[in-house]
Amino acid sequence: MEPEIRDRGEFEPLDSCDERILAVINELHHRDDPIPNDLNERVEFVLELEAALDAKVASVFRPKEMTLVRGDADLAVSQGDPTSITFDCEAVTVMVTPRPAASRELRLDGWIGPEGTYGVELRSPQGTRHVSSDESGRFVLEGLPNNEIFQLVIRPSEALQREGLPAVVVTPAVRL
């Protein structure tokens, strides 16, 4: 057992030494694990859209983390391509795989489940692209700029909404 006197230290008010220690801990994190310099911008970018939409927000599953996703509503997605990103929201799952195309350009292959037709909006600070998925939920977007941030806005068809899918699903902005 620790002597009782040791336990009293934690209730002492912070002094200048404590403040100094906390300042150095803060400094260490600033230096070694800084917040990405575009993260504030990305947050503001995605909130811009959100203001006008009553949308459901998707979680993002990155390949490294993706093994099997637990939980009743979650899909167990087999992981084919290490560059693919999965967005998951209620019953809707979107998987996108970016591939380099022409120089400094990307092609984005997407698949949305459950099967059906979806409107797909790809927002970036440069503008918005619209496509529709085919009936199996697949879509392709070509000629996208490299190293740009993108946010997806997915709109399930009315038929899918009647089956209980939300009207709009939005994702965080990812850099591809």
Partner 1 sequence: MNATSAHSVATVDYDRHAQLYVAARAGDRIAQHTLVGELNELLWRAARRSGLDRDSASDVVQTAWLRLWRTEDGLKQPRALVKWLLITVNREAWKVAGNARREVVSDPVDIREPVIEGIEEGFVRDVERESVRRAFLAQSERCRRLLAIVSAVARPDYDHISEVLGMKRGSIGPTRGRCLDKLRKTLMEDPSWAADEERDADGT
Least separation in angstroms between residue 108's CB and partner 1 is 17
Q: Which is nearer to partner 1, 87 or 139 (CB)?
A: 87
Computed on alpha carbons and rounded to an integer, the radius of gyration of the chain in Å comes to 22
Query: Phi and psi at residue 35, in whole multiples of 5°?
Result: -65, 135
Q: Which is nearer to partner 1, 65 or 134 (CB)?
A: 65
The DSSP result for 158-176, as a single string, is HHHHHTT--S-EE---EE-
Least separation in angstroms between residue 153's CB and partner 1 is 12
Q: Which is nearer to partner 1, 34 or 164 (CB)?
A: 34
Least separation in angstroms between residue 134's CB and partner 1 is 27
Token pair of 82 as six digits? 């290490």
Query: Of the candidates 108, 160, 98, 97, which has an alpha carbon nearest to the alpha carbon of residue 131?
Result: 108
Q: Which is nearer to partner 1, 12 or 164 (CB)?
A: 12
Angle CA(122)–CA(71)–CA(43) in degrees, nearest 5?
A: 35
Q: Which is nearer to partner 1, 142 or 146 (CB)?
A: 146
Interaction site with partner 1 (CB under 8 A): 6, 9-14, 17-19, 21-29, 31-33, 35-36, 39-40, 42-44, 46-47, 50-51, 54-62, 64-71, 170, 172-174
Token pair of 74 as six digits? 């979650």
Angle CA(143)–CA(147)–CA(151) in degrees, nearest 5?
A: 80
Q: Are 50 and 170 in contact (CB under 8 A)?
A: yes
Least separation in angstroms between residue 98's CB and partner 1 is 13
Least separation in angstroms between residue 151's CB and partner 1 is 9
